[in-house]
Amino acid sequence: MEHVLRAEGLRRHFGSGPSLVRAVDDVDLAVAPGETVGIIGPSGCGKSTLLHLLGGLDRPDGGRVLLHGRRLDGLSETAAARVRRTAIGFVFQAFHLVGELTARENVELPALLAGASPREARRRAEHLLGRVGLADRAGHLPGMLSGGQRQRVAVARALVNDPPLLLADEPTGNLDSAAATEVLRLLAELRREGRALVVVTHDPRIAGAADRVVTMRDGALVDETVLV
């Protein structure tokens, strides 16, 4: 079976000498199509760094990342950006929406960057905003939305190019319990659709909804629990 995502011997160190931090140290991880993998571990153990490497947002010092069997880490920045836009959706704890653009424009942006026509980008954005329950907020700027609504816009944006893989870094970390529940419901729906999901989380509810939970400590994967 071809994995959606595969990391082999992944390494990312920061600093040197006494201040050397082995943020990611010899990590192997494979994600099957449609699989949801939770990554948990104490603060500073390297979860975000690992997720950035997996998504090609940062380059490893060693090892490799394969997306559908193709190396991601060796690509030029332009080529990596192209792959990221179409093959991976990102959801971050801090939403990372563009404050000057409306909800709909935020969702349209990655579609336009990937070459969709303005009309097609708008069609997809409106459909997805409807799907996340925000059809009536399409014209709002992020500053006019609640945290939960912003995160739902971010989920819609992550889906606009229909990626088979989503990477999420503490997607419920900034949300109150009701808003977190709504985002969790969306993630569960994406899982049922057969998208692969890698979620860094402290939220036991997300971890409990994963197929597999891996625990990270000091840059290494130290434990793996398969849930049914």
Q: Does 44 bind ligand ATP (CB under 6 A)?
A: yes
Q: Does 23 bind ligand ATP (CB under 6 A)?
A: yes
User: Which contiguous run of DSSP H or E holds residue 112?
Assistant: helix 103-113
Select from 44-52, 125-133, 158-166, 190-198 the region that touches ligand ATP (CB under 6 A): 44-52
Instruction: Give 131's contacts (C-beta < 8 A, 6+ positions apart).
Output: 156
Number of residues that bind ligand ATP (CB under 6 A): 11
Select from 41-49, 82-90, 120-128, 159-167 the region that touches ligand ATP (CB under 6 A): 41-49
Select from 39-47, 63-71, 125-133, 138-146 the region that touches ligand ATP (CB under 6 A): 39-47
Of 35 and 203, which has the nearer Cβ to ligand ATP?
203
Instruction: Give 119's contacts (C-beta < 8 A, 6+ positions apart).
Output: none
Of 11 and 140, which has the nearer Cβ to ligand ATP?
11
Whether 160 and 86 have beta carbons less than 8 Å apart is answered as no
Instruction: Give 48's contacts (C-beta < 8 A, 6+ positions apart).
Output: 169, 200
CA dihedral sign, ordered 52, 54, 57, 63 = positive
Q: Does 204 bind ligand ATP (CB under 6 A)?
A: no
Q: Residue 10 is encoded by which pair of tokens?
A: 């992944």
Of 185 and 217, which has the nearer Cβ to ligand ATP?
217
Write the secondary structure of 47-97 as one string of H (helix), E (strand) and C (coil). Answer: HHHHHHHHCCCCCCCEEEEEECCEECCCCCHHHHHHHHHHHEEEEECCCCC
CB of 15 to ligand ATP, least distance (A): 6
Q: Which of 47, 84, 85, 122 binds ligand ATP (CB under 6 A)?
A: 47
Q: Which residues contribute to the site for ligand ATP (CB under 6 A)?
A: 14, 21, 23, 41, 43-49
